[in-house]
């Protein structure tokens, strides 16, 4: 799948201006602040610009690139829901089908759920061109905003032949992270995203040059859960956080609400608190798929006896919120716990 940019194809790309689609979804990136230092409560303005309008306010960002703006949503990413992921993935696929000359895709997104959207797209898109998700920590009309800086870096990444075939990537603060591991680690710092334990794939310098230092590990070939054909909606899957003294009330309520899966974000190294464990076992008995994860930033939960005796699956090293997305997709294809277990650890 990486071959599109090699040999004659690469020469053809280099001999014309790159064309990059910029899909706007809203977020801090698109929010208008009320004053220069409105870095915290800027959403109080109630103004979120569409990507067309926003790009005109940003001036000449990258004159050597043909930017194709595509409006998708204009909302804070706290409002992004799984139906938006399905629609966005299909939009990207149809955009490429209709305009095969595009060299890359940039998605601008609020930072709150950016890592979840990026991971869903990584699992469901089959593209060899770069797909870059970026955002901002400060609105574009505030002092020291990272909005233009991040978009410029994302455009550079979207044009970079070295980043083709690497799946969906997150670009923030001039760092390139794989969607699988990228997570927001800071509320207000501009260096908001990291890949804990693994570090960035690449850095983007002041001239927009991409220095690739390592490759992400990707499953060989397409796996069944990545195919959205026939998937009209995603099943309900919830995350339950363990903490000292947590009881079973939340777990029982989720089972009563009809959840199909529960990710137990356990106490490191990856155990539910005593107060919730029996409720998880009861959930399994009611047909809910329960997966043990850990709330540790660099955690992993291998398959082990104390889980298998309770019928609970092992979550591996994905964060609880990323694991939830894999389980949602897995449940569109399978319900047998052994099959679901294999799918969870395949990614
Ligand atoms: N950073 C948020 C987002 O992900 C927006 C901030 C807010 O809603 O206050 O869109």
- Convert the pLDDT of each residue in 261-312 to its tens digit: 999 999 999 999 999 999 999 999 999 999 999 999 999 999 999 999 999 9
Half-sphere exposure of 77 toward its Cβ, with a 13 Å CA cutoff?
26
pLDDT value at 14 more than 60 = no
CA distance 35 to 178: 34
218 Cα to the center of ligand 1, angstroms: 30
| Residue of 43, 140, 146, 147 to mutate, ligand 1, most atoms within 8 A of C-beta | 43
24 Cα to the center of ligand 1, angstroms: 14
What residues contact 342, with CB distance under 8 A and at least 6 apart?
A: none
Q: Which residues pair with 184 in a beta bridge?
A: 193
The share of the chain scoring above pLDDT 70, in percent, equals: 94
- Convert the pLDDT of each residue in 183-194 to its tens digit: 999 999 999 999
110 lines ligand 1 (CB under 6 A): yes
> 255: pLDDT confidence band, cut at 50, 70 and 90?
very high
pLDDT value at 256 more than 70 = yes
- Convert the pLDDT of each residue in 209-218 to its tens digit: 999 999 988 7
Spell out a b/e string for 183-202, using b for 16 or more CB atoms within 10 Å of the CB, else e.
bbeeeeebebbbbeebebbb
- Convert the pLDDT of each residue in 38-70 to its tens digit: 999 999 999 999 999 999 999 999 999 999 999
> 222: pLDDT confidence band, cut at 50, 70 and 90?
low
111 lines ligand 1 (CB under 6 A): yes
Question: Looking at residue 8, what is its pLDDT?
Answer: 41
139 lines ligand 1 (CB under 6 A): no
344 Cα to the center of ligand 1, angstroms: 30
27 lines ligand 1 (CB under 6 A): yes
Average pLDDT taken over every residue of the chain = 94
78 Cα to the center of ligand 1, angstroms: 6
CB 331 within 8 A of CB 289: yes
| Residue of 24, 25, 31, 80 to mutate, ligand 1, most atoms within 8 A of C-beta | 31
* Residue nearest atom 8 of ligand 1, based on CA coordinates: 76
E strand or H helix at 155, and its extent? helix 147-159
- Convert the pLDDT of each residue in 103-162 to its tens digit: 999 999 999 999 999 999 999 998 999 999 999 999 999 999 999 999 999 999 999 999
What residues contact 175, with CB distance under 8 A and at least 6 apart?
A: 191, 193, 200, 202, 203, 204
pLDDT value at 9 more than 70 = no
Cis peptide upstream of residue 269 (ω within 30 degrees of 0): yes
Question: Looking at residue 275, what is its pLDDT?
Answer: 96
DSSP state of 31: B
Could you tell me which of 286, 287, 304 has the C-alpha nearest to residue 345? 304
CA distance 150 to 162: 19
> 20: pLDDT confidence band, cut at 50, 70 and 90?
very high
User: Is 57 among the residues known to form the active site?
Assistant: no
pLDDT value at 224 more than 90 = no
Question: Looking at residue 109, what is its pLDDT?
Answer: 98
112 lines ligand 1 (CB under 6 A): yes
113 Cα to the center of ligand 1, angstroms: 9
Question: Looking at residue 253, what is its pLDDT?
Answer: 98
* Residue nearest atom 4 of ligand 1, based on CA coordinates: 110
> 226: pLDDT confidence band, cut at 50, 70 and 90?
confident
Question: Which atom of ligand 1 is nearest to 75's Cα?
Answer: 10
pLDDT value at 180 more than 90 = yes
CB 91 within 8 A of CB 315: no
> 229: pLDDT confidence band, cut at 50, 70 and 90?
confident
pLDDT value at 13 more than 60 = no
pLDDT value at 5 more than 60 = no
Could you tell me which of 254, 242, 233 has the C-alpha nearest to residue 331? 233
- Convert the pLDDT of each residue in 93-116 to its tens digit: 999 999 999 999 999 999 999 999
- Convert the pLDDT of each residue in 316-336 to its tens digit: 999 999 999 999 999 999 999
Question: Looking at residue 12, what is its pLDDT?
Answer: 47
What residues contact 5, with CB distance under 8 A and at least 6 apart?
A: 13, 128, 161, 164
CA distance 150 to 66: 17
């Amino acid at each position: 799948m990486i071959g599109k940019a090699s040999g004659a194809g690469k020469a053809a790309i280099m001999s014309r201006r790159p064309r990059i689609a910029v899909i706007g979804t809203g977020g801090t990136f698109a929010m208008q602040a009320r004053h220069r230092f409105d870095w915290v409560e800027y959403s109080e303005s109630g103004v979120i610009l569409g990507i067309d309008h926003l790009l005109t306010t940003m001036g000449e960002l990258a004159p050597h690139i043909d930017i194709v703006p595509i409006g998708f949503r204009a909302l804070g990413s706290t409002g992004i829901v799984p139906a938006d992921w399905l629609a966005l993935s299909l939009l990207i696929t149809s955009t490429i089908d209709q305009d095969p000359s595009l060299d890359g895709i940039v998605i601008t997104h609020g930072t709150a759920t950016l890592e979840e959207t990026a991971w869903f797209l990584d699992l469901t898109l089959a593209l060899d061109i770069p797909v870059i998700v970026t955002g901002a920590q400060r609105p574009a009309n505030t002092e020291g905003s990272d909005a233009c800086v991040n978009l410029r870096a994302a455009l550079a990444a979207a044009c970079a032949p070295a980043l083709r075939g690497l799946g969906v990537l997150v670009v923030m603060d001039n760092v390139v992270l794989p969607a699988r591991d990228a997570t927001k680690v800071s509320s207000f710092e501009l260096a908001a995203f990291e890949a804990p334990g693994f570090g960035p794939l690449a850095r983007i310098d002041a001239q927009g040059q991409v220095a690739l230092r390592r490759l992400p590990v990707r499953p060989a070939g397409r796996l069944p859960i990545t195919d959205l054909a026939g998937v009209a909606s995603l099943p309900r899957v919830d995350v339950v956080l363990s903490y000292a003294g947590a009881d079973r009330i939340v777990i029982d309520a989720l089972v009563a609400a009809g959840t199909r899966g529960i990710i137990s974000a356990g106490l490191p190294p990856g155990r539910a608190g005593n107060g919730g464990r029996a409720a998880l076992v009861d959930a399994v008995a009611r047909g809910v798929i329960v997966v043990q994860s850990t709330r540790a930033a660099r955690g992993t939960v291998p398959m082990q006896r104390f889980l298998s005796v309770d019928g609970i699956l092992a979550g591996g090293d994905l964060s609880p919120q990323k694991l939830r997305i894999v389980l949602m997709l897995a449940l569109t294809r399978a319900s047998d716990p052994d099959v679901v277990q294999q799918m969870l650890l395949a990614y």
